[in-house]
A = this chain, B = another copy of it.
Amino acid sequence: MDISNHFPIWNKLTPSQQNSILAASRLHSAQKGTIIHNGSLDCIGVLVIKSGQMRAYSLSDDGREITIYRLFDMDVCLFSASCMMPDVQFDIIVEAEKDCEFWIIPTPVFKSLMDESAAVANFAIQIMASRFSDVMWLMEQIMWKSFDKRLAAFLIEESNIEDSDILKITHEKIGNHLGNPREVVTRMLRYFQSEEMVRLTRGTIEIIDREALEKLSDR
């Protein structure tokens, strides 16, 4: 199992392009909680996820967070190499949300592939379009949807990712995903509990009426 099985357009590369990726990319691992890419402070390269889960988020001047997108097996992250795209004028932080294994293709190597290969450049367009859609969805949520709907959508999404109705996540972490203070999350979760949609225990949130949450989230 090397990067050739995980890089989505491997078959569109020439043998020499494949070799340059094989020669330059290294497999890394990171424990849950590790910051893998830290905005403009580094430009480590393009990430290709082998296993695990990462979270890309934006950080306000006063330390508030909001999750922009998530990365799972075989996903590719370009913004950890954003110095190769001068028009990218924003910072994203990528952290391991679970223990991760991933390859890093160094920025200059990916940049030169993108410059010479229309296939690689179109693949980059595809990734960027997909992340762009995530951000537009998020922005529309924030603009047009109230927090109860966003929180309901988040609980459903988490439950799908974890394949479980019992979520082990703190209210503070949820706040960091959604860009709201912990108190706001706690208050809304208590409201959901009073409506018998969730059951709260120390450290967990159990979904007991998925249908009602889905209806509220209105996705």
- Measuring CB to CB, which residues of chain A are less than 8 angstroms from any residue of chain B? 58, 60-62, 64, 66, 85, 87-90, 114-118, 120-122, 124-133, 135-140, 142-144, 179
Contacts and interface: CB of A to CB of B under 8 A. Distances in A.
Contact of A117 (B118, B139, B142): B118
Contacts of A122: 114-115, 121
B61 A133 contact: no
- Tallying the copies of this chain within the complex gives 2
Nearest to A124: B125
A58 B120 CA distance: 30
Given A121-B121, A122-B121, A143 B90 contact: no
A121 B128 CA distance: 12
Contacts of A64: 143-144
A135 B129 contact: no
Given A88-B133, A125-B124, A128-B129, A142 B142 contact: yes
Contact of A136 (B58, B61, B117, B124): B58
A179 B143 contact: yes
Contact of A126 (B62, B87, B133, B143): B87
A116 B122 CA distance: 10
Nearest to A91: B136
26 contacts: A58-B140, A58-B143, A60-B143, A60-B144, A61-B144, A85-B125, A87-B126, A88-B129, A88-B132, A88-B133, A89-B137, A90-B132, A90-B133, A114-B122, A117-B118, A118-B118, A118-B120, A121-B121, A121-B124, A125-B125, A128-B129, A128-B132, A132-B132, A138-B139, A139-B142, A144-B179
